[in-house]
Chains A and B, each alone.
Chain A
Amino acid sequence: MFFFPQNPNVTHNSNLYKRPFVESFEETPLLVAVLTYMGYGILTIFGYLRDFLRHWNIEKCHVARDREQQKDFVPLYQDFENFYTRNLYMRIRDNWNRPVCGVPGAKMDLAERVSYDYNWTFKHTGKVVKDVINMGSYNYLGFAENVGACADAAVDVTKKYGSGVGSTRCEIGNLDIHEELEQLIARFLGVESSMAFGMGFATNSMNIPALTGKGCLILSDELNHASLVLGARLSGSTIRVFKHNNMQSLEKLLRDAIVHGQPRTHRPWKKILIVVEGIYSMEGSIVRLPEVIALKKRYKAYLYLDEAHSIGALGPHGGGVVDYFGLDPNDVDIMMGTFTKSFGAAGGYIGGKKELIDYLRSHSHSALYATSMSPPVAQQIITSMKIIMGEDGSTLGRQQTQLSQNTTYFRKKLWDMGFIIYGNDDSPVVPLMLYMPAKIGAFGREMLKRNIGTVVVGFPATPIIESRARFCVSAAHTREMLDIALEAISEVGDVLQLKYSRRERPLPALGWMSEESLLQD
């Protein structure tokens, strides 16, 4: 018997795919991992030092603390994440929630702010940093605009309906524009019926509990979004987690579930719901949908697909992962997505069979208790969706082509430069690995110095050593903008020594060799 070494990047059921499915997660170099842990160790020691000083009131404490009268109670504000926020996040907080003053389109204006007390408080200087290239917004198709067809239509609709509705869908908040929107979504997705909600997060967290309950089993990907996790927990079902995008792991859980049934009683599960996302927003990976559907059919489970990032952004017609893989939308039982990303609006939808939608209309909390979607937002979605579908008379698929060209170009360039980037070759979400805690802060600051706005992410959104910067490519980016951004990234990559990749690549130009790169070779 021979055992062939298994390459995790190779698809095992390649006959299910119409096109190559290339996804890579290069291993963390050992030295980098060790240095990263060392960095966290040093920062943790200083964190304890600062906490000690705060405890004895040698230093002023700026964060929430238990009241003096309650100091013998079980502490209300203490856990590791709190320690982390206080002692690490606060030191580099200037990289996050920076006020944007204008449309966060391909370029944006940022309010300048300064801090005189090491990021505990910020002051606005009143100045504006103009024309920062935006590499962070989920504006995949470039519909975040304040001019153009979408914005005009939204203005007209505001003049007609106003901006608030003031009631829920099942009372008197059901406008004709909502019904029009839902019919359009159903047509766009190729499903029987659909329903729109005012918030994407609530669409997940309130509809999963409407679908499953006690005695049901939810199989959830380990990297699912917080809204899915919350929904699954609220439902009271048993939750089992499979490894990210790992079909062997999913199949094993499905088999076990069917063979053993519920714990103790061994009754069969009432239903089994597989919950996956289209594009994983931190990993840039695309779900192996053909295999998931094959498994779901074989084991007769239901499938809940969250297309928050993939709808509009993937597929030749912008129809999300289903379109990308050329599958039948009716194979997915519950198609969920949001309008916050590609459509430049707000809210979420659920699409599927008519019975499903009718059931949700009368059972989902966000249909019964949440005020319905604001009319200009609904109109923004309608107009942008029509543009994607080519119903406004413009060329079909223009944004999709632009986006996929930009994605390929951007990923290829970063790859050639020797960065470790994660994810699928076709995913517009591009995570670039930074690893060390200090580099999270340094990367964001250095990029902003070069007038490029990026998102940097660390623990708890990622595993502790896998801090990263995440770029979201948009159809609104021109080639020049991407080139400027790439040049800046390369420069910062040299200054911060981020070109960790040990893939075979052309020799770098001669220059001073850093100790680190010598050690890595």
Chain B
Amino acid sequence: MNFKNLREYLAWLYYQYLLITGIYVLEPWEKSIFNSILFSAIAMVVYTSYVFVPIHVRLALEFFSGIFGGQHSTMKH
């Protein structure tokens, strides 16, 4: 496929998305329902990961550094 510009390419990508999910055949209001549900789901996933992942990562780091750090110190003795 050859595209003249990015817009055309994005339009084509959106078309692929319509075809693969099957919402190509739906009526416009159904399409918007599907899109809003999908995008709000994605947005929530992104938001939760933004909020919670750093905390979990920090906790995990502390936990593991506690174990390994602790072992480290016991080995030194």
Contacts and interface: CB of A to CB of B under 8 A. Distances in A.
Interface of A: 35, 38-40, 42-43, 46, 49, 88, 91-92, 118, 436-439, 441-442, 494-497, 511-512, 514-516
A35 B20 contact: yes
Contacts of B2: 511-512
Contact of A39 (B15, B16, B20): B20
Given A42-B34, A511-B1, A441 B24 contact: yes
A92 B16 contact: no
Contact of B19 (A92, A442, A494, A512): A442
A436 B25 contact: no
B31 to A, nearest CB: 10
A515 B16 contact: yes
Majority DSSP secondary structure for residues of B touching A: helix
20 contacts: A40-B22, A46-B30, A46-B34, A49-B30, A88-B25, A91-B25, A91-B26, A436-B19, A437-B22, A437-B25, A438-B21, A442-B19, A494-B1, A495-B1, A495-B15, A497-B16, A512-B2, A515-B13, A516-B16, A516-B20
Listed from nearest, the 7 A-B pairs whose CB atoms lie closest are A39-B22, A438-B24, A91-B25, A438-B22, A438-B19, A511-B1, A43-B22
Contacts of B21: 38-39, 42, 438
A471 to B, nearest CB: 21
A437 B26 CA distance: 11
Interface of B: 1-3, 9, 12-13, 15-16, 18-27, 30, 34
A12 B6 CA distance: 53
A439 B22 CA distance: 8
Nearest to A46: B30
A515 B12 CA distance: 11
Query: Among B22, B24, B27, B34, which residue has the most Cβ atoms of chain A within 10 A?
Result: B22
Nearest to B18: A438
A39 B16 CA distance: 12
A437 B24 CA distance: 9
A436 B26 contact: no
Contacts of B27: 118
Contacts of B22: 38-40, 42-43, 436-438
Given A42-B34, A438-B18, A497-B16, A514 B1 contact: yes
A49 B34 CA distance: 12
Contact of A441 (B13, B25, B30): B25
A442 B12 CA distance: 13
A438 B34 contact: no
Nearest to A494: B1
B35 to A, nearest CB: 12
Contacts of A442: 19, 24
Contact of A438 (B9, B25, B30): B25
A378 B34 CA distance: 56
A514 B16 contact: yes
Given A438-B19, A497-B16, A92 B34 contact: no
